[in-house]
Amino acid sequence: MKKLYLFEKLKIFEKMAVSLIGQPFFRFAELPAQQTFMRELTQCFCAIQGSTSLHLVLHKNCVLIEGETGETCNINIRRINMKRISVINEKGGVGKTTTVINLCYGLAQKGLKVLVVDLDPQANTTSVLLKQNKALTLNILDGLMNEFDNSQRDLLDARNVLSTYLRKCPFQDDISDVLDNPEIVENAIVNIEAHLNDETYHNMFIIPSSHRLTDTDIKLKIAMRRSEARLKMALDIIKDKFDVVIIDNSPFTNALTFNSINACYEDGDLILIPTKIEQGGLEGLDKTINTLFEWLEMGYIEYDFKILLTMVNRNSVDKKCVEVLQYLFKDRCFRNIIRYQAKPVTESSLKKEILLSNSRSNVANDYQAVVDELITFL
């Protein structure tokens, strides 16, 4: 149980009720108007006689109102459907991974249970969120040489020694295993808070990636039969366990990308396109939107997308570019933008930290504003 509010007077209680309607954690069973919901809460309040203070406690399926003398009553609620956000741009270096990590943290801090799916073979999101140290050491390099010395020492052995090392997975299962067999998806989910023993990562989970995902992409291209629906099938299995799923993607159009897009098929799901204000970033935006339209022409659903402008400098060209893109795409653009600030981003990446967790920089404030904007239409 998590204590959300403490209030002592009916007026405070009424203000709390109005504010609760706007919370994203749940939808009420019949989506009542404010007056109906207020009436239900007032009835609950009146049912608790003789209380001078009340606690509002959040359970999985109800709001429990608890009086100081022990009387309780509750309002049944229904959680929102799990929302899926695929972060895509067919151009590297536009801030996809930084966006995924900070959105995950920001939404988790709002009380949402967030799952990140790392669908990028580079596994940068996995490395940061799980604080993996990929640095080469003398012991590792000596081990590779010893393994090669114990083989036939030909080109195939050299390839196998290197490939075996790069494809080692520190977890029982990762996203490659899930795409091979969606039914094992729950085995691949890592509770980040428990893994790191750090409450900073409360409500944050990940299906990690590894270098093996490159092989999985090739297998999916060959498989053909429902290969683009593997991730969708996996997420459907766990749709009652999380509030939001955020998918990080590689900067290439491949079978993995198609799985990611295809998984965002329900109303409220979103394709989020981080776009750096430069020629390459705009080209990536254009390619990504064209891909979505191609899928529509092939008979797939029309996917909802929003553009997040990143790494925006203070010069006149960048400001004008923001103005033009927001004019062209209107509500398809986030109102808030991410300003360019190299130092805090670089430091957080090197330290494998999350900007929002310990930075007061402009870019951290920008990501917080984007989280606040995003949560209004989840």
pLDDT of residue 307: 96
Do 359 and 331 sit in the same domain of this protein? yes
Do 250 and 298 sit in the same domain of this protein? yes
Q: Angle CA(167)–CA(172)–CA(175) in degrees, nearest 5?
A: 65
Partner residues linked to 74 by β-bridges: 64
Nearest to 116 by CA among 282, 311, 246: 246
Do 60 and 206 sit in the same domain of this protein? no
Report how far apart the first and last C-alpha atoms of the chain are (Å, whole number): 24
Do 141 and 106 sit in the same domain of this protein? no
Report d(CA 75, CA 5) in Å as an integer. 15
Listed in sequence order, the DSSP H helices in the chain are 10-21, 34-47, 96-109, 124-129, 138-149, 155-166, 175-180, 185-188, 192-196, 213-223, 230-237, 255-262, 279-297, 316-329, 342-350, 355-358, 362-374
Mean pLDDT of the chain, nearest integer: 79
The predicted-structure confidence for 73-92, as pLDDT tens digits, reads as follows 555 444 457 899 999 998 88
Residue with tokens 């390459």: 280
Do 141 and 104 sit in the same domain of this protein? no
Report d(CA 117, CA 236) in Å as an integer. 14
Among 148, 169, 190, the domain boundary falls at 169
Do 305 and 156 sit in the same domain of this protein? no
Do 127 and 259 sit in the same domain of this protein? yes
Tokens of 222: 């060959």
Do 149 and 175 sit in the same domain of this protein? no
36 band by pLDDT with thresholds 50, 70 and 90: low
Tokens of 243: 């509030």
Do 175 and 109 sit in the same domain of this protein? yes
299 band by pLDDT with thresholds 50, 70 and 90: low
Say if pTM beats, i.e. exceeds, 0.95. Answer: no
φ/ψ of residue 114, rounded to 5: -115, 130
pLDDT of residue 18: 47
Report d(CA 156, CA 204) in Å as an integer. 41
The predicted-structure confidence for 179-189, as pLDDT tens digits, reads as follows 999 999 999 99
Segments forming the whole domain that contains residue 139: 133-169
Structural domain count, the chain: 3
The predicted-structure confidence for 187-210, as pLDDT tens digits, reads as follows 999 999 999 999 989 999 999 998
Do 39 and 137 sit in the same domain of this protein? no
Give me the mean pLDDT over the 242-250 stretch.
94
pLDDT of residue 267: 78
What is the distance of C-alpha 66 from the center of its chain? 34
Do 178 and 164 sit in the same domain of this protein? no
The predicted-structure confidence for 313-339, as pLDDT tens digits, reads as follows 999 999 999 999 999 999 999 999 999
Do 90 and 217 sit in the same domain of this protein? yes
Among 54, 79, 104, the domain boundary falls at 79
Which CATH number covers residue 319?
Answer: 3.40.50.300
Give me the mean pLDDT over the 57-68 stretch.
54
pLDDT of residue 215: 82
